[in-house]
Structure formats: structure tokens, C-alpha cells
Amino acid sequence: MENERPMWIDKSKLKEIRDNIRCPYKLLNSLGISISKDTEHEIWCLSPFRNETKASFKIRKDELIWFDHGMNEGGGPLELIAKLNNVNIYKAGRLAVDYGLTSAIGLVNSIKPRPIQKKEVKKEKNIIELPKKYSLVPYLRPYHPVITQRGLSQVTCEKLRFGFLPMSSKSNLKGRIVFQIRGVKEVDSELKPTILTHIGRAISEKQETEGGKWRVYSGFEKKSALYNIDNVLLSSQVTSQVEKYGLVIVEGCFDVAKLYEAGIYNVVSTLTASLSDKQIDKIEFIQSKIKIPEIKIWFDNDEAGKMGTQKAIEKLKGFDIPFRPIEWNQLKSENKKDACDFSVDELKQFRQLGLI
């Protein structure tokens, strides 16, 4: 029936769910935990609970018992789901069913997810719902293997308002690395930040195939926004760097994050390999509020990025702010395709040399 309530999970059903979670790889994948080392009896991973470079989280293959050496805590699969999603053990049991982790077919059929209202099917698999203006930031976790492997810290996550959105979220961006995109509006001569939307980056090839590399809400145009414009105009630390070094324009959110990690804050992202007229209008708005001595274009080191750079140069001709592309051949960029591929030390050196 349309309004049928889902069956309550009691202790016996909870035990049945626990006993039927048998694949460690499926468990780890569903929680977005990447494997660092796979041995005969154990799997080692970077801890999903904090930022680290050496794996201290392990799970036994036979019993699916996990232990995190960094916090001296462990448990079974349901305890792991509960801790990662900040829910009780019964909710963790339902999440395990929703994730498809249990092999008990009868159990899956008896515990049905709460019915949801049917929505119109979108033509683009990565376009979902309407733009979300409320903040998802309180629900984002700064510690996730995808974030850690990119060399990004909790501080950077907090400054730029991004992180991993747990699978327990009701948002269609759940299970992805989510960035909050903000703009700036002027009210009574005062600049105020405003939430435009959130976008979510896939954390696995399977997720990318099924839902797109980036998921965005319908009604939001990437070419109408500049990621990090809010900090450029509202943070004195960022504003001072813009006035000293100019404005660096990159493609992606992760490029901005890696530059932030290196202490380079005078940067915005176009979210695509192009610079639109609307984004140029936003740069002019920035210039009307603070002095931009120079614009530096640093799109990706691929065909789309190179073509986007050339088109951006043509659009900026006649602009009253000096501009130049950042030359990849000056950056010792072998096997590197975008700004976030460089280490923090390399980025700091580029700043010292005046390259960025």
C-alpha cells in the first residue's frame, strides 16, 4: 500500500542482518572507505574517522570485525555503519538493508524502505531535483579517504565548506564529496553571502557510471557561478592576497582546495573548462570592490583546458585588468593534469617563484 509503514527492526531481525553481512569489500565500498592494503586475512584502510597518511584501520575478512588503532575502538559491521552515520544500531541495520549488504532475501523483502513519492525522471543522470538553498555543511564529514588521499585537511574542508555526505542523508548527493557553492549579494551597501546550491563529486567508478562524475541540482548553471567568490570578497585574509598577487582562475573545486592547503587563497573556480560572460561580470564586480592587479588563468593541462584557456584570453582582451595564462611547461608538470595534482610544497614553491 502507498502509506504502508516499514516493519520495525527488532533484536532478532537485527541479528539476522548482522549474520548476513558477509562481504568486506561490499561493506567498505558502500561506506566510501578505500583499501590501502589487502592481505590474506585482513584489509587495511586509511581511517574514515580522521586525517591520516598511514593506514591504521583494519577489518578481518572472516568475521568482518574492524578495529581503528588511532582511537582504540572497533566492532562489527553494524557498529561501523552506526558510527560513520551517527545513528543508533537499529538505524544502522536499516541502512545495511538499504545499502544491499545483507544476503537474506526474505529479510530484505520483509523490511521495506519507506515509500517515496515518484518524481519525474530526468534526462541527464547527473541532474537532480531543484537547487538546495539550505546548508548541507553541518552534515558533511571532513575525514574521508578521498579527501585524505588528495592531501586536504579538516581546516581546508571547513574554510571551503565541503566534505563527505554520509549515506544516511536524505539528499540525493549522499555518498559523495559535496561542495557548497555560494555567491555574494549586496544589501543596503553591505555584502552578504548567499547559498546558491551544492554539488557532489563521485567517490568511485561505479558511482560515476551510475550517477555522473559530478551531480548538480536542476536550475543551477555552473557558468553563472564562481566558486570561492564569497571568501574573495568577505574574508580579509583572502582579499589581501587578491590585492597583492592578483586573482587565479582554475577549473575545479578540488583545485581551489589544494591551493588553499598550500596557503594560496586568491583563487576562484569556474567549475568548467571555460570562462563565461556571466563569470566575467562577476570578476568585474569583484574589481569594483577590491583592487585586482592581475588575472592568472590556470585551467587543466588537457585539450579542454587548453581550448578553454585560449577562449578565455580572447574574452579578456580589452579588459581593464592585466591577464596571463599560467604556463604548464614552467611547472615541471609531467603526468600532472590539474592544479590539485601538485603537492603543497610544489605549490608553495610556485608562489615563491611568482608563477602563481
Of 297, 264, 266, 305, give the one whose Cα is nearest residue 280. 297
What is the band of 85 on the pLDDT scale with cuts at 50, 70, 90?
Answer: confident
Q: Which residue type does 136 have?
A: L
Instruction: Tell me the pTM.
Output: 0.70
State residue 124's pLDDT score: 52
Q: Does pLDDT of 227 surpass 60? A: yes
Mean pLDDT of all residues in 60-78: 91
Q: Does pLDDT of 132 surpass 60? A: no
How far is residue 45's CA from residue 56's CA, in Å, rounded to a whole number?
7
- Are 131 and 219 in contact by the 8 Å Cβ rule? The answer is yes
Looking at every residue in the chain, the average pLDDT score rounds to: 86
State residue 100's pLDDT score: 77
State residue 6's pLDDT score: 44
Q: Are strands 177-187 and 162-164 parallel, antiparallel or unpaired?
A: antiparallel
Which residues have a Cβ under 8 Å from the Cβ of 98 and sit 6 or more positions away?
113, 167
SS3 content of the chain, % helix, strand, coil (to 5): 35, 20, 45
pLDDT tens-digit profile of 242-293?
999 999 999 999 999 999 999 999 999 999 999 999 999 999 999 999 999 9
The three-class DSSP label of residue 170 is coil
State residue 8's pLDDT score: 56
Please count the other Cβ atoms lying within 10 Å of the Cβ belonging to residue 243. Answer: 14
Q: Does pLDDT of 15 surpass 50? A: yes
Of 142, 140, 160, give the one whose Cα is nearest residue 260. 160
Sign of the CA dihedral running 324, 326, 280, 276? positive
Structural domains of the chain, ranges and CATH numbers in brackets: 11-110 (3.90.580.10), 127-352 (3.40.1360.10)
pLDDT tens-digit profile of 141-192?
887 888 988 999 989 999 999 999 988 788 889 999 999 999 999 888 899 9
What is the band of 341 on the pLDDT scale with cuts at 50, 70, 90?
Answer: very high
- Are 7 and 114 in contact by the 8 Å Cβ rule? The answer is no
Q: Does pLDDT of 210 surpass 90? A: no
Which residue's C-alpha cell is 592581475? 294
Which residue's C-alpha cell is 578505500? 34
State residue 335's pLDDT score: 82
State residue 104's pLDDT score: 53
What is the band of 138 on the pLDDT scale with cuts at 50, 70, 90?
Answer: confident
